[in-house]
Amino acid sequence: MKIGTLASHSALNIITGAKAEGFETALYCTPDRIPFYKSFGLGDSIIELESFDELLELDLSDVIIIPHGSFVAYIGADRILKSDLQIFGNKELLKWEEDRNLKSQMMIEAGLNVPREYKHLDEIDSPVIVKTHGAAGGEGYFIAANKKEIEENLDPSKKYSFQEYIVGTKIFTTYFNSIAQDRLEIFGADIRYETDADANLRFDDRPSFIVIGNLPVVLRESTLAQYFDMGVGFVNAFQKLVGQKLVGPFCIETIIDRNQKIYSFEFSGRIVAGTNVWMPTSPYSFTLFGEQMWMGRRIALEIKQLMASSMLDEVLR
């Protein structure tokens, strides 16, 4: 079996990790990006596609696909769910991520502290973040201090949800749920730097939340212990609501306020780009493995161990 992914997002992380564990690799790459990936010596992995859509036309019976954020964005949850791609992870989770109501249900079941969601404009009594439905990367979001400000900015043709705006530090914590080792591993945390919400100077109240990159952050150990418990809650909630074991990497997206209260506003059930900051290792994966272990390698190691014990079918969902 080969390990493959689309050439974007965390492909360097994934492909380098698969190679480190001795796998053959397939990097599906559009022509414009070939020189970039070749510059890292990955020419032997490249399979050229005119567009990422072509992936679905290929015979991928000997490839385990590692889904990442761009993979989900380009191919779309719907087509992934209907496809017979051998995906490492839970296809089912994509549905829970995409639907705001299901997403909230999962986070509440996990025991996470989620920002208040207002059902009606009349209930609003705090600053809010107004989220458009189906937007990726915070596009079209705006913040408002009160109901009047919201009403002035609403576009009647769009569907919105209104969430309590939490002032604090954004922390994205990644985990790896190992089926082979039967354990939850806390992997690391990062801060997503967003333009221009994170800029020092702005002259309007419509910041953009477009992600520019990620910064590593090492949490206070006592705080990290709290995140570990949150991860355990998430794994259990997933098992209960979906009836499957959660496979591999996932991320809980949070804001910590001035009282050190942790609010969770999102999750991702796959590798996130924030793990790129922890190549070649995170402090916690080093503690666990006694050697360098980045997320791409961790995924490949899991696949190798499951293959050795004939359990691979359990993680290709």
- Please, which residue, 19 or 270, has the CB nearer to ligand ATP? 270
Least distance to ligand ATP, CB of residue 253, Å: 6
Interaction with ligand ATP in 276-315: which residues (CB under 6 A)? none
* Residue 103 near residue 267 (C-beta atoms within 8 A): yes
Q: Is 166 in the site for ligand ATP (CB under 6 A)?
A: yes
Least distance to ligand ATP, CB of residue 182, Å: 29
- Please, which residue, 68 or 192, has the CB nearer to ligand ATP? 192
- Please, which residue, 208 or 282, has the CB nearer to ligand ATP? 208
Q: H helices of the chain, where?
A: 11-20, 34-38, 69-75, 77-82, 91-98, 100-109, 147-153, 221-242, 283-289, 295-308
Q: Is 192 in the site for ligand ATP (CB under 6 A)?
A: yes
Q: Is 10 in the site for ligand ATP (CB under 6 A)?
A: no
Q: Which two tokens stand for residue 317?
A: 């969902």
The alpha carbon of 30 is separated from its chain's Cα centroid by a whole number of angstroms, namely 23
CA distance 27 to 8: 9
Q: Which residue has the tokens 């959660």?
A: 246
Phi, psi of 290 (to 5 degrees): 70, 15
Instruction: With H, G, I as helix, E, B as strand and everything else as coil, classify residue 46.
Output: strand
* Residue 298 near residue 285 (C-beta atoms within 8 A): yes
- Binds ligand ATP by CB under 6 A, chosen from 80, 197, 273, 301: 197
Q: Is 270 in the site for ligand ATP (CB under 6 A)?
A: no
Q: Is 137 in the site for ligand ATP (CB under 6 A)?
A: yes
- Please, which residue, 160 or 209, has the CB nearer to ligand ATP? 209
What is the contact surface with ligand ATP in residues (CB under 6 A)? 115, 129, 135-138, 141, 163-166, 170, 192, 194, 197, 209, 253, 255, 265-266
